[in-house]
Amino acid sequence: MTEHSPEFTLSCPTPLETHATVQMAHGGGGRLMRRLIEDLFLPGFGTDPAGNPPHDSAVLDVPAGRLAFTTDTFVVSPLVFPGGDIGHLAVYGTVNDLAMAGAQPLALSAGFILEEGLPIEMLRRVVDSLGHAADEVGERIVTGDTKVVDRGPGDGIFINTAGVGLVPPGVNISPRRVAPGDAILLSGDLGRHGIAIMSVREGLGFEGAIASDCASLAGLVAALVQADPDVHCLRDLTRGGLAAALCEIADGARVGIQLREASIPVSAPVDGACELLGLDPLYVANEGRLVAFVPAQAAERTLEIMRAHKAAPEPAVIGTVTADHPGTVELRNSLGGSRVVDLLSGEQMPRIC
Ligand code: MG
């Protein structure tokens, strides 16, 4: 792959034409790239409120304490889907991973790989979404990079974001702390993101009924942690769905997990789509749902806090942690039958986030 990569912070006076596309920058220090930066990235992400001149690194003032640090790369196809686009995912995905450590986001980076031929209007849309999502969560994108690569399959944009956040004193959220007796709470219904993407990609026509659940979980986690700093573990449900999240935690914490199928919310449209596609909603991707592990006596209060928060549209206690069968997730149905929920060997849905 060939690439060309001036920094975000170069300047160029010429405005971008509406119907322009991203082209490989040949010579001259990448004039198109400068224009992208000046006309598109800087307006989308905002400039340093302190008015500092551009520099090779962002320098952050950080209070003493513990930092959470995470990164994620977004390759979703299509770039735009019901309920959002790759720009929203790139912010929420990383912010949610910070939130799962109880951290309040401090700053994000954004790195773009753009395919030659990408319409500028699509890039502008994605950059705007990214900027708006960052504003919504009170986050600044403090550093970034863009590279253009040769024309490929026509997908257009890949984004990497990294984020740092501050973990409040006394907060210790980790799979290590999951213990037998813990209640497991789910914040909302399953499978919207995966089905919304599949619907567009495969032309299935569900998109009127099913939009992605993609959303920031940072505010919900802040409310949970403020009310009860003794939350044992949090995990956002992304690729692999609820099943993958719980299997990883059961394995990592060496505990058993028992789920009650009847308490796991799945909307009728998602349920219907899953039936048609031969998918199990437990395995379908989400981008705005979490599970919380809390001591049994804190379950009711945690549920109350979730009910009061818009990021938890349908909270429910879905199961408990056991000392039996460490590493195993068991799903019990209302008739008293049960089955083991396993990790899938392959990827159920590629390019979902
Ligand atoms: Mg995660």
Cα of 287 vs centre of ligand 1, distance in Å, is 9
The better pLDDT of the pair 188, 4 is held by: 188
Give the pair of three-digit tokens for residue 253. Answer: 């914490």
Cα of 87 vs centre of ligand 1, distance in Å, is 17
Cα of 6 vs centre of ligand 1, distance in Å, is 31
Cα of 237 vs centre of ligand 1, distance in Å, is 7
Q: How do residues 155-191 score in pLDDT, each as one tens digit?
A: 699 999 999 999 999 999 999 999 999 999 999 999 9
| Spatial strand order in the sheet of 290-294 | 233-236, 290-294, 183-186, 316-322, 256-260, 329-332, 338-341
Query: Would you say residue 271 has pLDDT above 90?
Result: yes
Q: Which residues surround ligand 1, an ion (CB under 5 A)?
A: 97, 236
Q: How do residues 30-68 score in pLDDT, each as one tens digit?
A: 677 777 888 888 888 877 777 777 788 888 888 889 999
Cα of 221 vs centre of ligand 1, distance in Å, is 13
Domains by residue range for the chain, with CATH: 8-48+63-167 (3.30.1330.10), 175-341 (3.90.650.10)
Query: Would you say residue 340 has pLDDT above 80?
Result: yes
Cα of 320 vs centre of ligand 1, distance in Å, is 21
Cα of 96 vs centre of ligand 1, distance in Å, is 7
Cα of 27 vs centre of ligand 1, distance in Å, is 41
Cα of 133 vs centre of ligand 1, distance in Å, is 18
Cα of 39 vs centre of ligand 1, distance in Å, is 33
Cα of 235 vs centre of ligand 1, distance in Å, is 6
Lowest mean pLDDT among 98-102, 255-259, 274-278, 285-289: 274-278
Neighbours of 116 (CB within 10 A): 16
CA distance 297 to 35: 57
Q: How do residues 111-156 score in pLDDT, each as one tens digit?
A: 999 999 899 999 999 999 999 999 999 989 999 999 989 887 766 9
Cα of 98 vs centre of ligand 1, distance in Å, is 8
Cα of 158 vs centre of ligand 1, distance in Å, is 19
Cα of 16 vs centre of ligand 1, distance in Å, is 37
Cα of 44 vs centre of ligand 1, distance in Å, is 26
Contact 161, 71 (CB under 8 A): yes
Query: Would you say residue 347 has pLDDT above 70?
Result: no
Residue 81 parent element (H or E): strand 80-81
Per-residue pLDDT at 35: 78
CA distance 137 to 158: 22
Q: Minimal CA–CA distance to 141: which of 126, 122, 120, 157?
A: 126
Cα of 70 vs centre of ligand 1, distance in Å, is 9
Angle at 131 between CA 28 and CA 127, to 5 degrees: 45
Q: Which residue has the tokens 């160029």?
A: 12
Cα of 175 vs centre of ligand 1, distance in Å, is 12
> What length does the chain have?
353
Main-chain dihedrals φ then ψ at residue 263, nearest 5 degrees: -90, 0
